[in-house]
Chains A and B, each alone.
Chain A
């Protein structure tokens, strides 16, 4: 476990320049500064990124990627898909993942072949903290009569929640008119 965490920390640290680039593309200057500080702290005090002293100092990471940048720019979600090995995704998230192979400035600042680490850090950084649904949500999937439809619904809802997408006007109308029908004068 400590080794796994070390790898996760190290790759996560190499991934931070990519996060900063995406923060800037999303016009989130405060977050870009915070993640720059995190990169400096963990690279120096954290022995090149193997340790994560920044988190207990309150400089934790808010994950982001080019998929979120596309969302901020107003790009539509597109279709849902199940990618081999990578799991559920959307058109927008998949394009974001591909673009993110090239958004890490380390790729351009470090000579070859060491710069390939910038490409791999995106995948490696997920080792330490692979996203997992809580077992409560998992059980909904296992017991489902249509687990594909359910997986699609769970992923899209959770992804929109992470992006901070507001409830749609259609849904508000649906709820309001139902309450009106049931309890209206």
Chain B
């Protein structure tokens, strides 16, 4: 076990180092540019790690709240609501400061998360498959509304470029708000036990002395804030919050106190791998990391689903 931990730690460190050195200009001993490193590579690497960690943890909290393993903010409309909020802000108040943008995005994410959870509550189903299906369709409908408004306002291209997760524009001074997401992830770790209980369902949780609706509200706020912040800074990183918690839960179970650190690390590593791929696949150009994550994520998601069938 300790040997395994060591290997994983080594892998994590080597990924960070690779992320610092690889890019349009490859840094090595002969060609070392401190300015480049400090202004773009270090901020970029930190931004990737923070988004990867916080999104994976947001995913697992949402899964506990929804009582379903196959949901996460990007497949349930939460992120689409955030995009809708940003789009409306851009139309009616284009000179908004970053703080205003962030608040609007978080506010709309909360609306999205709450409305989805109400929807599945109305559905009265315990079917594992129905909930994610409804989530994806719901996200699709909100997405269609976004498209409708964007098309009216001639903003299709803006939305198209902007929603795709991309770290290439991250510079010193343009990512720091992601630390808030990191902080929230940390906070989630501290109240992890309560989310584990929420994941057991309302009755069990209440029976065990948990103030269910209070913890539920905190959970929604955490998920929505993380989703809202990362969308504004980095764009949409699909499936990260879905596949990482599922993989971790296959090996380490659902005790969040134990699994949240693992989820956070694996999420950060996966985001790093995808971003490094994004940088080297069409070197010296870049592919938005959201595209790579979409491919990796949907393939793994499909695998998880089919695995589920084999077990049923």
**Are A and B part of the same complex?**
no
Residues of A with Cβ closer than 8 Å to B? Answer: none
Residues of B with Cβ closer than 8 Å to A? Answer: none
